[in-house]
Amino acid sequence: MQIGFVGLGKMGGNMVKRLLTLGGHSVVVTDRSADAVNASVEAGATSASDLADLVAKLEAPRAVWVMVPSGAPTDIVIAELGKHLSKGDVVIDGGNSNFKESQARGKALAEKGILFVDSGTSGGIWGLQFGYCLMVGGEKAAIDHLTPVLDTLAPKDGWLHCGPVGAGHYVKMVHNGIEYAMMQAYAEGFELFEASGLGLDNAKIAKLWMQGSVVRSWLLELGAEALAKDPTIAGVAPFVTDSGEGRWTVIESIEKAVPTPTITAAVQYRFRSRQENSYAARFLNVLRNQFGGHEIKK
């Protein structure tokens, strides 16, 4: 089928390539980066100078997949598309948007008769080779229209119509919260190995656990590969960022009164990792000195 694609970054560009090479789809692309557009054109896509030009090059009913950073960039792109698209067209947000923002965008587009689909997308840089796990929300008519594209982007049984608009990004939000907790557990366990004094080989242990262990996972496999290349990881800064989904999961758990202590702790650890000189840690030292006369390390 024919589809427009806005945003050709690490994931967007690879998704376009997968659509072209595996599905034989017709893809019209646009991006602020001329190099990114040229790379997609070389793979077989058709370029568009801007959003208006992209819409003009698509046949009705149109489908446009948006793959840009969450928040304001997504708002701007979808609002602009809403000016050019027609009743019955479909907009898909495949980025890491907050599900509440997706619900609002869906409502705004529905007033114009434009369908909206929110697609939680997992697969990272490996999606081109192995496919993307897609968690989609929206009306059945919109999902049915997109089925050929979803079938190409995802591996077998790799996409699910999760529910109404917002459901796709809700499932992806919780997915990422779980991901935070899994990563944190691995990190803590391997740090304990490093401190054991027993000469343990983290890379070999990670590889071992991939052979039938109940804690085996793709994350662990990737960790094993990284440790095999650099066992000490000495050149990596202990600074861990987050893209938002973990903290959204925690906020949602508070609003729904559902306990998520493990995910919450994992999110909080990321915040702590970014503090070069923690006020809280200094204050703890002061308190210990005040009540017990404990030495303060300067």
Structure tokens at 212: 């039938």
Question: One of 172, 188, 204, 295 is an active-site residue; which one?
Answer: 172
46: β partners:
28
28 SS3 class: strand
Question: Do residues 20 and 45 make contact, with C-beta atoms less than 8 angstroms apart?
Answer: yes
Amino acid letter for position 67: M
Helix (H, G, I), strand (E, B) or coil at 248: helix
β-sheet with 159-163: strand ranges across:
46-47, 26-30, 2-6, 63-66, 90-93, 115-122, 133-137, 159-163
Helices marked H in 124-217: 127-130, 140-153, 167-195, 202-209
Task: Judge whether 172 counts as a catalytic residue.
Answer: yes
Relative to beta strand 133-137, strand 63-66 is unpaired
Give dist(CA 15, CA 5) in Å, integer.
9
Asked if 17 and 40 count as a contact pair (C-beta separation under 8 A), the reply is: yes
Beta carbons within 8 Å of 216's beta carbon, 6+ residues apart: 209, 210
Among the listed residues 57, 80, 139, 179, the single catalytic one is 179
**Could you confirm whether 100 is annotated as catalytic?**
no
Are β-strands 63-66 and 26-30 bridged in parallel, bridged antiparallel, or unpaired?
unpaired
- Residue 54 CB: number of other CB atoms within 10 A? 22
Structure tokens of 112? 């114009």
Query: Which residue numbers are catalytic?
Result: 172, 179
